């Protein structure tokens, strides 16, 4: 009997480590483009083919519980998993870093729902604009006043205005790096990744007086926890014999 971890994130890797270390049979599902070192336990790659494909996979692999450790903005995978687990009667838990909305400085930022509102809010503050919103949604920002800097994990040559500066950088960075990247900008648009590891960019913005436009997380159904130990405790509640 297997626990499926929908992964592709650092926290998903930590969950797989914790489960594997506790003797749980775990399989991590990674998006096809993830090339990082695989988590311990079993690994599979790529989409399931929507809700039907996921249901088939769960039945075929004797999965008894699902942990959704996808990115807080990966809404399709999370919603599909929630729906399918409810349909099959499988327990599911979501793990996500605690939101930055709880931080003391969260009230200084402009919070928005969606990229068009983020673009509007950043445009009102004015250029230079720094975008840290991931690669896929950048087309929402093409009409921003320039100069614009876009930070992406992978620059695959995605379409963008010719004058944009693109910085390729993966994962959390120390404060010195964030200060270097952000210096000279008036506004930074970012997603609420939460937790401490990615928070240096917020500290850098505060130090440099750069206004923060924060994209709210999508509202996703189901219970959630913040730490791998909480996932283990949850699983112990109904582990099959």
Which residues bind to ligand NAP, rule: CB under 6 A?
6-9, 29-31, 47-50, 53-54, 70-71, 73-77, 80, 134
Name the residue nearer to ligand NAP (CB basis): 82 or 186.
Answer: 82
Nearer CB in complex with ligand NAP: 125/133: 133
Min CB(156)–ligand NAP separation in Å? 14
| Closest distance to ligand NAP from the beta carbon of 12 (Å) | 7
Angle of helix 200-208 relative to helix 175-182, nearest 10 degrees, comes to: 50
DSSP string, 192-228: ---SSTTTHHHHHHHHHT-EEEEEPPPP--S-EESSH
Residue 74 CB coordination number (10 Å): 17
Q: Report the residue number, 50 or 126, with the smaller CB distance to ligand NAP.
A: 50
To the nearest whole angstrom, how small is the minimum distance from the Cβ of residue 28 to ligand NAP?
8
Q: How far is the CB of 86 from ligand NAP (least distance, A)?
A: 16
Edge-to-edge, what's the strand order for the sheet holding 129-132?
Answer: 110-112, 211-215, 187-191, 129-132, 148-152, 165-168
Nearer to ligand NAP, 84 or 125 (CB): 84
Closest distance between ligand NAP and the C-beta of residue 9, in Å?
5
Q: How far apart are CA 193 and CA 72, in angstroms?
A: 7
Question: Distance between CA atoms of 185 and 197, rounded to whole angstroms?
Answer: 22
| Residue nearest to ligand NAP as judged by C-beta position | 47
Nearer CB in complex with ligand NAP: 62/136 = 136
């Amino acid at each position: 009997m297997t626990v499926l971890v929908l992964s592709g994130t650092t926290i998903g890797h930590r969950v797989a480590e914790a489960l594997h270390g506790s003797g749980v049979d775990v399989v991590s599902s990674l998006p096809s483009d993830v090339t990082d070192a695989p988590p311990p336990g079993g690994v599979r790659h790529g989409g399931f083919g929507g809700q039907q494909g996921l249901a088939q996979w769960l039945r075929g692999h004797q999965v008894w519980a699902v942990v959704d450790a996808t990115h807080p903005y990966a809404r399709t995978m999370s919603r599909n998993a929630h729906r399918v687990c409810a349909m099959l009667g499988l327990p599911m838990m979501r793990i996500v870093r605690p939101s930055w909305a709880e931080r003391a400085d969260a009230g200084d930022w402009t919070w928005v729902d969606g990229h068009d509102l983020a673009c509007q809010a950043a445009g009102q503050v004015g250029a230079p604009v720094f975008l840290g919103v991931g690669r896929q949604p950048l087309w929402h920002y093409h009409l921003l006043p320039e100069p614009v800097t876009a930070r992406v994990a992978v620059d695959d040559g995605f379409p963008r205005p010719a004058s944009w500066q693109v910085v390729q950088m993966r994962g959390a960075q120390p404060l010195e790096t964030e200060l270097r990247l952000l210096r000279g900008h008036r506004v930074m648009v970012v997603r609420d990744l939460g937790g401490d590891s990615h928070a240096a960019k917020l500290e850098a913005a505060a130090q440099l007086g750069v206004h923060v436009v924060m994209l709210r997380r999508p509202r996703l159904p189901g219970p959630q926890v913040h730490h791998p130990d909480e996932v283990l405790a949850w699983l112990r509640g109904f582990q099959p014999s």
